[in-house]
Amino acid sequence: MELLHLKYFKYVAEHLNYTKAAHELNISQPALSMMIKKLEQELNTKLFYKKGRNIFLTDNGYILLKSVDNIMYELSKAGDLIYKNEHSKQNTINFASSHSRLISYIFDDYIVRNPQYMFNCGIETMGQIIEKLLNYNIQFALSMMRIQHPDIECRAIIDEDIVITYPKQFDSEQTIDFLYNDNVYKTFVFPSHNEDYNNLAKNKVLEMNLTINNVNYIDDAFITSIAKQRQYFAFMPVSMCKKLNLPYINDDELIIQTSIYLSSIKNVELGKANFDMYQFIETYFKQNQAFYLAD
């Protein structure tokens, strides 16, 4: 049974006139009659009967008409929902960031400028970002680690320096000898949910033969508050140090040079809303490159 046959039946049933129904459907009357006969054969029942020059619905015809009305209503409702869903998708920005600090400077400004968009966004691990990109749950991602996957295009948009910030008790020191002094008990804080970032920092510690006496792992939600107290050593993006007005060690050998990346699925065009924000993010970072580098 084809949906088109049900549509033709509904027109004939409502008009009880083949000529009028055929005219509205813009088909010939013989073709319409053939369609109705085919439907009756498929259902093995008569849907109309003739009385003089007029036609009427049979009892089974009434049963079918009621069902067809329900079907058409549900299809119409589904069509409306599909349209609204597609409209929503076209106006919804789906993205993720590996860290809130990467997007926090930008997001407030962007949503004020673009109230027409909705947002489906989150802070995710690198593994989650890759999974969501591949499953099309997000259209693009912002991260401080390069994604290496054959189906993902990952572009470095700016360079970023990660530096060491230190406790305030060393503010009066003229050199950074305290960092290498084994008599100084050094506690470093690391983010608790960023293994890739921590590995970068720990590799730098090994490279420079630094001694760490104690490590505290802090959830990202508390890193800023802890950093502002200046009780511990920490590897921090220089942009964060500048924003919090934290002093840091500006020594080329101790700076971790990395990048900030934008990633999306290869050969898949971003939707208008997502492309708009993608470009906004890229432009923002490029215009503010100096903020992400040690002075």
Residue 170's domain is classified under what CATH number? 3.40.190.10
- Residue owning tokens 């511990």: 232
Same domain, 106 and 19: no
pLDDT of residue 89: 66
- Average pLDDT value for residue range 178-203: 90
Q: Are residues 28 and 167 in the same domain?
A: no
Residue type, 128: Q
How many angstroms separate the CA atoms of 72 and 78, rounded? 10
Q: Are both 249 and 273 inside the same structural domain? A: no
Q: CA-to-CA distance for 178 and 251, rounded, in angstroms?
A: 14
Give the number of other Cβ atoms within 10 Å of residue 85's Cβ. 11
Q: Are residues 165 and 242 in the same domain?
A: yes
Confidence of residue 274 (pLDDT cuts 50, 70, 90): very high
- Is 86 a domain residue? no
- Residue 222 covered by a domain: yes
Please name the residue ranges forming H helices in 135-244. Answer: 195-207, 220-229, 238-244
Average pLDDT value for the chain: 91
Per the domain annotation, does 85 fall within a domain? Answer: no
Same domain, 152 and 107: yes
219: Cα separation from own chain's centroid: 23
Same domain flag for 50 and 191: no
Q: Which residues pair with 141 in a beta bridge?
A: 96, 263
Residue 84 covered by a domain: no
> What contacts 201, CB < 8 A, 6 or more positions away?
162, 188, 190, 235, 256
Distance from CA of residue 220 to its chain's centroid?
21
Lowest mean per-residue pLDDT among 10-24, 72-86, 179-193, 254-268 = 72-86
Q: Is residue 168 situated within a structural domain? A: yes
- Would you say 138 and 271 are in contact if contact means Cβ atoms under 8 Å apart? no
Token pair of 25 as six digits: 């459907």
Residue numbers of the domain that contains 192: 160-257
Residues 170 and 243 in one domain: yes
Contact call for residues 261 and 146 (beta carbons, < 8 A): yes
SS3 139: coil
* Domain assignment present for 83: no
Q: Are residues 244 and 284 in the same domain?
A: no
Segment 65-93 shows an average pLDDT of 81
Q: Are residues 61 and 179 in the same domain?
A: no
Residues 134 and 176 in one domain: no
**Number of domains present in the structure of the chain:** 3
Dig out the tokens for 12 from the structure: 């004939």
- Average pLDDT on 147-176 reads 95
Residues 275 and 131 in one domain: yes
Looking at the domain assignment, is residue 87 inside a domain? Answer: no
Tens of pLDDT, residues 231-273: 999 999 999 999 999 999 999 999 999 999 999 999 988 888 9
130 in a domain, yes or no?
A: yes
